[in-house]
Structure 1
Amino acid sequence: MEANNNNNSCQSQSQQLEDEDRLSMLTDDILLSILGRVSTRLAATTCVLSTRWRHLPWLLPEVDIDVKDFLSVTRPDPVEANDMEKAMVSLTKAARSFLADHQRGSTISSLHLKLYLINTFLCEVGPLICDAVDSRLLKELDLSVLDETDILDYCEEDMLQRAQEIDAFFSAYPSVPHCLTKLTLYNVGFDKLDMHHVLFDCCNQLKHLILIHSDSGANSLFKIDAPNSNLCVLNIYKCRFEIIEVICLPKLEKFLWSTWVSEYAPVTFGFVPSLGELELSCGSSYDQCEFKLSELLHGVTGLHTLTLDFQGENLWLQPEIEGLFTAFNKLRKLSIRGIFVEFDILWTMAFLVAAPSIEILHIEVWEHSCDIGDTRLDSYPERRTPQWEMRLGGSENRLLKNLEFTGFKSLEQQFTFIRCVLERSPNMQKIVLRGDEQCKYCDALEESPRPSKFPKNKVEQEMVVKQIRHGTFSPEIIFKE
């Protein structure tokens, strides 16, 4: 028996060595492709596997160093100052290792760096990045300045202080902003600084900018006039601008704004010849008025993808068709999300009239128990059914081939809408019906799961198919929970 166990052990070790040898026989480019799919921290640990792997992590063309990877295994919530400092100690060591000239075997095409704004460590990380840029070891930097403080708990003084620290960091280490291609900021207040200068003049290679609760004060105006900017993507989330005037951003391709405080249209566009994708997402508040989408899109002629998300609240758009023809003449994909489940959805047909070039239409209905009754925020007004009356004439949507419907519940108004789309779209090929998206807040409130209105079994699905096709239409209908 003991001899058999020894034989099995030897065979197992032999097989393990054989597998390792097979893996080690792969070329560097294949092994680097494998390492590129895991975190940089995990990739770095592979150097202890064998001498064959020892040099590989320092050949990775893209390096991702995330301070959260260095937090304790349990990921403390909330993250305390002591946890941040310990994580930043480890991050600094990792940055020093990957950016050291003597260890690098190749240029870093892109460094993705996520850190906490702690001055002690910025004074160490800054020179490392500067030296790497100046020696042409590093080409591009993707920097995220993280913050663990909840937006509701932040005070103005803290936001102003963060802005001062970021400005001082950029001034002390000028190679950092000059190699920045992507920047993400949390809870930064530029009230006392020239925000445009910091973000566009200093960061002159910036292609992607994400601002999260970062602005120049409550109800402020932000004018962007940057004819030499390389910015392609601008993402605004819960910032307090009254309005953003995009006067000139010639390379801007994608603009996203979620949750604004403006009473009217939150953004205007001037010279944006490359703008092709626009996403607006907001739940209306008491002092919010409806605005015309055509006024917001004035000057935009190349839009191909549009997403409008009402987050289950009242519509913040005025009814119109004719004014949208120019802005919608190249529109290919339209997503209308967050429509309260009790609202009529036939009004969305107006967009099909205004955009006969649409190929993909996505409708999402909103039904959440976490925003009903006592759980509903006081800042939201009473929901009112949209009263949009308009003539839906015009030509057919011959390019529309795919309809996706999220939150489908076998309601008559939903069947009416889908059949109306089919009547207008003779070349419709596929309809995808999905159930409600998972919501952790709803799940926490409900002691027992609500009975689903989504057709699950074959009999229910066949009944839905019959009602949709109505003996006239023949698109493929797919059910996805």
Structure 2
Amino acid sequence: MELNSRHSQKGEDEDRLSMLPDDVLLSILGRVDIATAARTSAVSTRWKHLPWLLRELTIDVKDFLPTPHPNPVEAQHMDAAMASLTKAIRSLLGSPQREATIITRRLQLKLYLVNGYSDAVGPLLAEAIGTGSLKDLDLAILDEKEPVDCTSECMLHQACIVDGFFSACPSVIHCLTGLSLDNVCFAEWDMQHLLLDCCKQLRRLFLSNCDMGMFSAWKIQAPGSHLEVLEVGCCCLGKLEVLNLPKLERLCWDGWICPNAPLSLGVVPSLTELQLLCPANVTFQGFQGENLWLRPEGKQLCSVLSRLRKLSLLDIFIEFDLLWMMVLLEAALSVEMFDVEIWEHPCIVDTEGRRQSYGERTSPWKVAEFATRKEWQLKEFQVIGFSPMEQQLTLIKAVMKRAPNLRTLVQKDYPSCVACEATGALPRTERLPKECVFPKGKDEQDVVVKQLTGETTNPHLQIIFVD
């Protein structure tokens, strides 16, 4: 009797859910992966037609991998996942059951181009684009190899696959609004032409371990481009020269190994966010305490950074002078959020071999007199890896003096480092002088507040300590 009652209650709950209108059920389906949505439609006649009504689809090949995901992903798993993904695309985009009046306006698709599946997926996408049911394609072509495991031959082969996919279905590249590529070398192709000239609707471009041949320069001259976001990670470019990208709003470069100043900016009037992480070598992340490549261009920066809203400078060596950052802030008066991360890691040993490769660690150039009469817009200033050292206190006080709109000052302790812990290094409280240690407790933090503000506090400024 109790069992029947439970089954009855379960059935009533399911009926209540099925009685909801299509728009509510579509909202539910839009929050799960496509594999779950497909299974749901298969077990209920009420839900059967719903996946075909979704205006936005996200189809990720990793949703078809075994759970938990194997690491590394082996060839047979990629093949099986792509077989399921191809079946899902054929069902959702090419099914004769699909109502002609329904349009999937946007598709986010992540896939592997392995074992000839591009020959199956490409025509399905091209057909959906041709019928007008697909208007917006955000495509990620994945590769599971780590950058350190990729040979030049592997990257050229990946480029050949990518070029073949787009060449076979040119309508796909014209429909792209987002593109993400891994481990591609465009040495035998025109990177500018393929990624910007042909992708006329492209707004977001993400490149991981991609280049034009080791240390070749990439000059972007695309006055007609719609590109708004450019993210480059671990790419062996000799230099990135953004000569003209009028709609670029966000630029992030994480991980380069070229010996010279690798970035120059030309006509980028819409740039609002700049994130730079400069490594000493390919295995590192951030500035990693090495020498800074920034040049003291002063007022020359004003036109380039005039609309910047967020600026992040990460992994600055703990002993470096920091006042040089004022030049960037003076040039980018519109910056509202400024993040600085201080670097101090015993896991990176300062050996003779490192010094021969990267030189002695020396403080960056001294800041010259460069002060505008215009008011800063800075509202939030965050220091990660804060310690009450003279260099940091001097910078913070200088920023506070020049930023009347500053409302939040966040000072965070150093994040934990697995590599440092693995070396058996002493804790910072034992390894570093007291003035280099994050203040613990209210008494120590009150001392820092007085050092920064004196006896008079700013009632509009909130100083937050996060350990």
Q: What band does the TM-score fall into relative to the shorter chain?
A: 0.7 to 0.9
The question of 1:84 aligning with 2:78 is answered yes
Question: What is the aligned counterpart of 1:149 among 145, 151, 156?
Answer: 145
Per-residue displacement from partner, 1:105-152 (whole Å, max 9, x unpaired)?
A: 421111111111214211111111111111222112111111112222
Secondary structure of 2:89 counterpart: helix
Task: Work out the CA distance in 2 between the residues paired with 1:443 and 1:58.
Answer: 51
Give 1:180's aligned amino acid: L
Question: What is the aligned counterpart of 1:470 among 445, 448, 454?
Answer: 454
Question: What is the aligned counterpart of 1:407 among 378, 385, 397?
Answer: 385
Structure 1 residue 245: Cα displacement: 3.6
Structure 1 residue 217: Cα displacement: 0.8
Per-residue displacement from partner, 1:328-370 (whole Å, max 9, x unpaired)?
A: 4444433222211222323323334444444332222122333
The answer for the alignment partner of 2:190 in structure 1 is 194
The answer for the alignment partner of 1:296 in structure 2 is none
Q: 1:251 to 1:213 in 2, by over 3 A?
A: same
Question: What is the aligned counterpart of 1:204 among 196, 200, 206?
Answer: 200
The worse-fitting range, judged by mean Cα deviation, of 15-24 and 232-241 is 15-24
Structure 1 residue 194: Cα displacement: 2.7
Secondary structure of 2:119 counterpart: helix
Give 1:44's aligned amino acid: A
The answer for the alignment partner of 2:217 in structure 1 is 221
| Matched-pair contact (CA < 8 Å) for 2:265–2:304 | no
Output aligned runs, 1:169-318, within 5 Å.
Answer: 169-284=165-280, 310-318=287-295
Question: What is the aligned counterpart of 2:163 among 160, 164, 167?
Answer: 167
The worse-fitting range, judged by mean Cα deviation, of 444-453 and 275-284 is 444-453
Secondary structure of 2:116 counterpart: helix
Structure 1 residue 373: Cα displacement: 5.0
The answer for the alignment partner of 2:69 in structure 1 is 75
Task: Work out the CA distance in 1 between the residues paired with 2:140 and 2:387.
Answer: 40
The answer for the alignment partner of 1:108 in structure 2 is 104
The question of 1:341 aligning with 2:318 is answered yes
Q: 1:427 to 1:240 in 2, by over 3 A?
A: closer
The question of 1:429 aligning with 2:434 is answered no
Q: 1:107 to 1:467 in 2, by over 3 A?
A: same
The answer for the alignment partner of 1:302 in structure 2 is none
| Matched-pair contact (CA < 8 Å) for 1:41–1:69 | yes
Task: Work out the CA distance in 2 between the residues paired with 1:386 and 1:196.
Answer: 34
The worse-fitting range, judged by mean Cα deviation, of 161-170 and 239-248 is 239-248
Task: Work out the CA distance in 2 between the residues paired with 1:189 and 1:445.
Answer: 36
The worse-fitting range, judged by mean Cα deviation, of 18-27 and 121-130 is 18-27
Per-residue displacement from partner, 1:177-218 (whole Å, max 9, x unpaired)?
A: 121221111111222223333223433322222222222211
TM-score scaled by structure 2?
0.86
The answer for the alignment partner of 1:300 in structure 2 is none
The answer for the alignment partner of 1:117 in structure 2 is 113
Task: Work out the CA distance in 2 between the residues paired with 1:125 and 1:357.
Answer: 45
Task: Work out the CA distance in 2 between the residues paired with 1:346 and 1:420.
Answer: 8
Structure 1 residue 316: Cα displacement: 0.9
| Matched-pair contact (CA < 8 Å) for 2:255–2:278 | yes
Per-residue displacement from partner, 1:139-174 (whole Å, max 9, x unpaired)?
A: 121111111122222222222222222222222222
The answer for the alignment partner of 1:359 in structure 2 is 336
Aligned Cα root-mean-square deviation (Å): 3.1
Task: Work out the CA distance in 2 between the residues paired with 1:283 and 1:162.
Answer: 25
| Matched-pair contact (CA < 8 Å) for 1:180–1:203 | yes
| Matched-pair contact (CA < 8 Å) for 1:422–1:473 | no
Task: Work out the CA distance in 2 between the residues paired with 1:426 and 1:386.
Answer: 27
Q: 1:371 to 1:39 in 2, by over 3 A?
A: farther
The answer for the alignment partner of 2:300 in structure 1 is 323
Q: 1:151 to 1:71 in 2, by over 3 A?
A: same
Q: 1:226 to 1:376 in 2, by over 3 A?
A: same
| Matched-pair contact (CA < 8 Å) for 1:357–1:397 | no
Task: Work out the CA distance in 2 between the residues paired with 1:309 and 1:150.
Answer: 18
Identity score, percent: 48
Task: Work out the CA distance in 2 between the residues paired with 1:427 and 1:206.
Answer: 36
Structure 1 residue 320: Cα displacement: 4.7
TM-score scaled by structure 1?
0.83
| Matched-pair contact (CA < 8 Å) for 1:406–1:434 | yes
Question: What is the aligned counterpart of 2:40 among 30, 38, 46?
Answer: 46
Task: Work out the CA distance in 1 between the residues paired with 2:408 and 2:134.
Answer: 47
Q: 1:69 to 1:440 in 2, by over 3 A?
A: farther
The question of 1:32 aligning with 2:18 is answered no
Task: Work out the CA distance in 2 between the residues paired with 1:247 and 1:415.
Answer: 37
Question: What is the aligned counterpart of 1:371 among 345, 348, 351?
Answer: 348
Secondary structure of 2:118 counterpart: helix
Secondary structure of 2:71 counterpart: coil
Task: Work out the CA distance in 2 between the residues paired with 1:392 and 1:268.
Answer: 21
Q: 1:255 to 1:177 in 2, by over 3 A?
A: same
Task: Work out the CA distance in 2 between the residues paired with 1:104 and 1:343.
Answer: 63
The question of 1:138 aligning with 2:134 is answered yes
Q: Which runs of 5+ in 1 are unaligned?
A: 1-5, 287-307
Task: Work out the CA distance in 1 between the residues paired with 2:317 and 2:146.
Answer: 28
Task: Work out the CA distance in 1 between the residues paired with 2:197 and 2:407.
Answer: 49
Task: Work out the CA distance in 2 between the residues paired with 1:172 and 1:328.
Answer: 40
Task: Work out the CA distance in 2 between the residues paired with 1:111 and 1:267.
Answer: 33
Structure 1 residue 81: Cα displacement: 1.6
Give 2:454's aligned amino acid: H
Give 2:89's aligned amino acid: A
Secondary structure of 2:231 counterpart: strand
Q: 1:280 to 1:34 in 2, by over 3 A?
A: same
Give 1:161's aligned amino acid: H
Q: 1:128 to 1:265 in 2, by over 3 A?
A: same
